[in-house]
Structure 1
């Protein structure tokens, strides 16, 4: 599969960081089976970005082989809160399209900040990615993964602790796109 530089960067992050650190124990199997789609757009216009997202949603909906899609917005805002607002608008579209029970969205961003976390908290690294992206997941796959997982609710806490226990050198290795690591 031919990838542009943005898709390659996200692919490498997915493999090295998300799968390598086992931040998402549900990612390895679909990755190994080629069921994760990674697509990017360099569109700057919000309507064109939304159209690209809807095309990706349609591709995922039509495919029996794909379980998930990472949709990269190369020219999205650098401001995480504005990007989060964009993701919320896309989530609202799922309701408008009656797809809220079919798909769920998760945002990732280089400056991701969890609610109730300080902007400098290492806990935020769990959802920090090299570029702004929206992860489209099939709701049935999430339900199945949660059913199979003995302690899915503790996953986020475990990931935060795992990242907090990394050395500065390890943080630079797993998150080379974050320039503020001391």
Structure 2
């Protein structure tokens, strides 16, 4: 099998795992009430970056941001960019988000798009690694979620209690417990972080 074929097969598996996480965890547990409609309409674009440096990842992220900005919303409302080959340490991943925000500014897309984040070892400040509430933001791979500001505004209008979603999600996850979360079999798909540093304040 050629290198291109191997890469395509790997990408297909990564996208399948990410899509399954969206279906089984995000939608089935209703962690995001806005996800079901765009997923079922095929408006979620799944992409993979095999970057192994910040510069390379920023190039891939720029490509996906520009593609989302240029696409019709009815065709592509949001993008999930999985990053399987780097940023496996959550603190490194959290630091990269500042570069993502700077990229939005350089591309002139700040205020139009934003970058949210998911990670296999996501940890909110003030929590322990095994606290189940961290699973609200845990995905099989380090993942950058590219969102349209207009879609967020529309979702908030349709769901005025959007600020309550996080608290509701914590209640749901605490009720199911870590064993229940693991039974979903949605990740992580990378090795645990080896960092011994305390988690920084994660972005909301």
Q: Judge same fold: TM > 0.5, yes or no.
A: yes
CA distance, structure 2, for counterparts of residue 54 and residue 98 of structure 1 = 11
Please tell me whether the aligned partners of residues 108 and 135 of structure 1 are also in contact (alpha carbons under 8 angstroms). Answer: yes
Matched, 1:146 2:156: yes
Q: Which runs of 5+ in 2 are unaligned?
A: 1-8, 193-204
CA distance, structure 2, for counterparts of residue 168 and residue 153 of structure 1 = 24
Q: Deviations 1:86-134 (Å, cap 9, x if unpaired)?
A: 1221012112222111011111001101233333321110000110000
Q: Using CA pairs below 8 Å that are at least 6 residues apart, which structure has the higher relative contact order?
A: 2
* Structure 1 residue 173 displacement after superposition: 2.4
CA distance, structure 1, for counterparts of residue 123 and residue 78 of structure 2 = 23
Q: Which residue matches 2:91?
A: 81
CA distance, structure 2, for counterparts of residue 144 and residue 82 of structure 1 = 32
* 1:28-177 aligned within 5 A: 28-64=36-72, 65-177=75-187
CA distance, structure 2, for counterparts of residue 76 and residue 12 of structure 1 = 21
Moved over 4 A (4+): none
* Structure 1 residue 70 displacement after superposition: 0.2
Please tell me whether the aligned partners of residues 38 and 71 of structure 1 are also in contact (alpha carbons under 8 angstroms). Answer: yes
Q: Which residue matches 2:35?
A: 27
CA distance, structure 2, for counterparts of residue 102 and residue 51 of structure 1 = 19
CA distance, structure 2, for counterparts of residue 168 and residue 154 of structure 1 = 22
Please tell me whether the aligned partners of residues 17 and 175 of structure 1 are also in contact (alpha carbons under 8 angstroms). Answer: no
TM-score, normalisation: structure 2: 0.82
Please tell me whether the aligned partners of residues 51 and 57 of structure 2 are also in contact (alpha carbons under 8 angstroms). Answer: yes
CA distance, structure 1, for counterparts of residue 55 and residue 172 of structure 2 = 38
Please tell me whether the aligned partners of residues 46 and 81 of structure 2 are also in contact (alpha carbons under 8 angstroms). Answer: yes
Q: Deviations 1:20-49 (Å, cap 9, x if unpaired)?
A: 111000000010110000100222122111
Q: Which residue matches 2:17?
A: 9
